[in-house]
């Protein structure tokens, strides 16, 4: 129940952030956290979508050689590995 409440709050936060700015670090982090949540719940398609959206933003914000982008790529790789 706590996980569901946290995910619901993050989805609300996501909607607000998307209206404010489509490419910022906070939005990328919320998307990544939702990806982790969906991954842990076995909702792999949703997790992949969140990870990919997060990666797209991180590349714009931090650049293609950033450690932040590398961490996100690692999450996506782990998702594929666990399927």
4-58 pLDDT tens trace? 777 787 777 767 766 766 668 888 988 898 899 899 999 999 999 999 999 999 9
How far does Cα 13 stand from its chain's mean position?
Answer: 13
* pLDDT of residue 2 exceeding 60: no
Question: At 63, is the pLDDT very low, low, confident or very high (cuts 50, 70, 90)?
Answer: very high
Global pTM value: 0.78
Torsion of CA 22, 27, 32, 33, to 10 degrees: -150
Q: What is the pLDDT of residue 22?
A: 64
């Amino acid at each position: 129940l706590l996980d569901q409440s946290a995910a619901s709050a993050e989805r609300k936060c996501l909607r607000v952030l998307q209206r404010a700015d489509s490419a910022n670090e906070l939005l990328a982090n919320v998307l990544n956290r939702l990806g982790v949540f969906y991954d842990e719940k076995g909702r792999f398609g949703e997790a992949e979508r969140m990870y990919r959206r997060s990666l797209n933003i991180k590349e714009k914000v931090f650049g293609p050689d950033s450690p932040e982008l590398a961490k996100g790529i690692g999450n996506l790789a782990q998702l594929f590995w666990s399927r």
